[in-house]
């Protein structure tokens, strides 16, 4: 297609659609191909437009990626950012919903042709995923709902992804008895003394986008409620994605899904005390866990506890003196529980009381999430036709893994520490 002004293309496209509507018919094959070609051209043009530049926060993680080998556009580098809102991650460009008189979800759920709908196969990615590309307005709204309901994403390091895979550099953790992060060594030498050399050891970390598909089943009445219904769909998608992403980031296997903290090679496990009863938590468990937390991560750390641990933690006290006084181990201030000065977060997405991982001390800034901007949405009226219900699906792609590939051995040569510490099974 020869170079044309975008407005001319839009006018030509609309004329094709108007002609079919005047003749009370659907687009024929040639007209549909022309509309698709124009949509493709306009979308590619939009993707090439300059977007708001991102700057990296200076307080990034100790072992965080310092650059990215992927880019948003041919000339613009995508860098990780401490801000997690949609605009900070992906800028202000992208595909916007063009129809002011209707909304995207209404059009996608109607089952009828709408010129604003762009098939997923027309965008970069996996064409077989199908569905319609979710406009940035709706994608940002879904992302905002997810962020409000997630545990890991607001606290981790997020790497925007412009392709199915992104490679980021990381330092090898190493052993402080021989070298520091990345193989750094230093020594005091006298005049004309020989300086020992050591090659820095770096590694490549690959984030490979994993497809998360959510299904939503709802009544046709909800669809008919064009205002409240569409808001509910945004909320359902946002909360659903948040729940499943959190679960994967915490305990995913890494096979076809993100590598969760509980399955990471860098995880440090603290054993139970001798003679400790099953399904209990004692004060020594918590102090031992803190002693295995990497000192540089302590200030960012949080306790992540399964909600079945609540009774044990609320009853846990420290005896003071011989008078029978006790101080609660878990305190509360302004609605935030704390243990040994660090905040406590309760969730159902780890392991229940007594299992390995029921309580975790974690610096989530040392976990990286690769996030694709594209979401896709599609619906079917046939799956539950007899009950007058619709079945919709939303597809989003991401990956995640710890920034550390192993626990750190301290200078004493035996003690291991990590940003992720769990209590073993009891």
DSSP string, 73-128: ETTEE---BS--SHHHHH-S-S-----TTS-HHHHHHH-S--TT--BGGGSSS-GG
Say if residue 273 is exposed, middle or buried (CB neighbours under 10 Å; 0-12, 13-18, 19+).
middle
Say if pTM beats, i.e. exceeds, 0.85: no
pLDDT for the residue numbered 192: 59
Domain segments of the chain: what residues?
Answer: 1-48, 268-367+417-423
CA distances from 355 to 102, 315, 344, 400, 423 (A): 50, 19, 18, 23, 8
Tokens of 315: 């009853």
pLDDT for the residue numbered 266: 96
Tokens of 350: 């780890």
The ranges of the chain with pLDDT < 70 are 1-4, 21, 24-27, 39-40, 42-82, 92-131, 176-201, 219-230, 322-325, 381-386, 388
pLDDT for the residue numbered 311: 96
Whether 70 and 80 have beta carbons less than 8 Å apart is answered as no
pLDDT for the residue numbered 134: 77
pLDDT for the residue numbered 108: 65
User: Could you give the CA distance from residue 314 to residue 311 in angstroms, rounded to a whole number?
Assistant: 5
Instruction: Quote helix, strand, coil % in the chain, to nearest 5.
Output: 30, 25, 40
Residue range 5-34, pLDDT digits in tens: 777 887 887 788 778 767 766 667 787 778
pLDDT for the residue numbered 109: 64
Could you give phi then psi for residue 107, rounded to 5 degrees?
-65, -45
């Amino acid at each position: 297609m020869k170079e044309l002004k975008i407005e001319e293309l839009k006018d030509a496209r609309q004329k094709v659609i108007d002609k079919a509507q005047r003749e009370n018919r659907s687009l024929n094959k040639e007209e549909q191909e022309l509309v698709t070609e124009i949509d493709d051209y306009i979308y590619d043009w939009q993707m090439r437009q300059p977007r708001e530049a991102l700057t990296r926060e200076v307080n990034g993680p100790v072992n965080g990626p310092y650059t990215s080998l992927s880019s948003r556009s041919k000339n613009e580098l995508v860098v990780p950012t401490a801000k997690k809102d949609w605009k900070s991650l992906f800028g202000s460009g992208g595909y916007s919903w063009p129809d002011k008189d209707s909304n995207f979800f209404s059009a996608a759920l109607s089952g009828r042709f709408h010129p604003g709908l762009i098939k997923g196969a027309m965008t970069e990615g996996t064409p077989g995923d199908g569905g319609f590309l979710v406009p940035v307005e709706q994608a940002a709204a879904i992302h905002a709902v997810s962020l409000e309901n997630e545990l890991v994403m607001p606290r981790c390091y997020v790497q925007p992804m412009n392709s199915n895979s992104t490679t980021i550099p990381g330092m090898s953790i190493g052993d402080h008895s021989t070298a520091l992060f990345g193989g750094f060594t230093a020594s005091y030498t006298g005049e004309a003394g020989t300086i020992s050399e050591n090659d820095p050891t770096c590694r490549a970390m690959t984030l490979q986008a994993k497809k998360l598909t959510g299904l939503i089943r709802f009544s046709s009445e909800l669809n008919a409620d064009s205002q409240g219904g569409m808001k509910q769909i945004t909320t359902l998608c946002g909360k659903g994605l948040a729940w499943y992403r959190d679960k994967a980031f915490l305990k995913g296997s890494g096979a076809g899904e993100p590598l969760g903290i509980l399955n990471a090679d860098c995880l440090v496990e603290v054993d139970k005390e001798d003679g400790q009863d099953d399904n209990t938590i004692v004060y020594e468990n918590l102090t031992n866990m803190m002693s295995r937390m990497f000192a540089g991560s302590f200030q960012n750390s949080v306790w992540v506890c399964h909600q079945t641990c609540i009774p044990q933690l609320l009853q846990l006290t420290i005896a003071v003196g011989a008078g029978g006084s006790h101080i609660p181990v878990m305190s509360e201030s302004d609605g935030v529980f704390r243990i040994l000065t660090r905040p406590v977060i309760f969730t159902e997405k780890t392991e229940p009381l007594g299992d390995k991982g029921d309580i975790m001390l974690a610096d989530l800034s040392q976990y990286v999430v690769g996030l694709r901007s594209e979401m896709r949405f599609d619906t079917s009226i046939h799956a539950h036709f007899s009950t007058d219900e619709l079945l919709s699906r939303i597809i989003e792609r991401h990956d995640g893994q710890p920034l550390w590939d192993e626990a750190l051995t301290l200078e004493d040569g035996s003690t291991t520490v990590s940003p992720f510490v769990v209590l073993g099974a009891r």
